[in-house]
């Protein structure tokens, strides 16, 4: 599809975030299973639920615009997922707390990517006068920000100190 307008860009980026979320879902599940800190595990499980809700919301929006949600492959998230697997799941750690600190690091990188994507989508939807889309995407953005803050709280509330 040629991108000739903001609407075309909007659809392209909706498909991109759908792909990003789909890729992030499996690795987030794996990070939750690997986490030893109880609060971290719960936060990652909540992240899995939030990502799933984001996928559903984006699918609904994309289909309402007569497009295929799977029409794009997000190479950015592909790289972040590879990094998360390599550094948090496949790397050898002699200390569970240090692995948990790495899990937070990798998860937050993926969340920051989602925050950037959702933020742009909210701006596009608003400019295109798609208020229902903008509201649904704002919810996804708010959830992403909340997940990021939770991870920071877990890291600074004990995981990083325990990893020292």
Q: How far apart are CA 48 and CA 153, in angstroms?
A: 18
Q: Which range marks the domain in which residue 137 is found? A: 6-163
Q: How many C-beta neighbours within 10 Å does residue 50 have?
A: 20
**Mean pLDDT of the 102-114 span:** 97
> pTM (2 decimals)?
0.94
- CA 113 from centroid of its chain's CA atoms: 7
In this prediction, residue 1 has a pLDDT band, given cuts at 50, 70 and 90, of low
> Looking at residue 35, which CATH number applies to its domain?
1.20.1260.10
What are 115-130's pLDDT values in tens digits? 999 999 999 999 999 9
Does any domain span residue 145?
A: yes
What does the block give as tokens for 99? 């692995």
What are 67-100's pLDDT values in tens digits? 999 989 999 999 999 999 999 999 999 999 999 9
Into how many domains does the chain fold?
1
Average pLDDT, the chain: 96
The pLDDT score that the predictor gives to residue 2 is: 84
């Amino acid at each position: 599809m040629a991108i000739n307008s903001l609407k075309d860009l909007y659809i392209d980026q909706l498909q991109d975030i759908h792909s990003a979320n789909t890729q992030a879902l499996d690795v987030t599940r794996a990070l939750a299973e690997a986490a030893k800190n109880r609060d971290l595990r719960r936060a990652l499980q909540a992240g899995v639920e939030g990502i799933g809700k984001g996928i559903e919301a984006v699918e609904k929006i994309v289909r309402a615009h007569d497009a295929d949600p799977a029409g794009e492959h997000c190479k950015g998230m592909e790289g972040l997922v590879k990094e998360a697997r390599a550094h948090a799941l496949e790397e050898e750690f002699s200390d569970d707390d240090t692995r948990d600190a790495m899990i937070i690091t990798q998860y937050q990188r993926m969340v920051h990517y989602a925050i950037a994507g959702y933020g742009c989508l909210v701006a596009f939807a608003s400019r295109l006068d798609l208020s229902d889309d903008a509201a649904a995407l704002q919810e996804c953005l708010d959830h992403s920000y909340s997940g990021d803050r939770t991870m920071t709280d877990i890291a600074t509330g004990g995981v990083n100190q325990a990893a020292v």
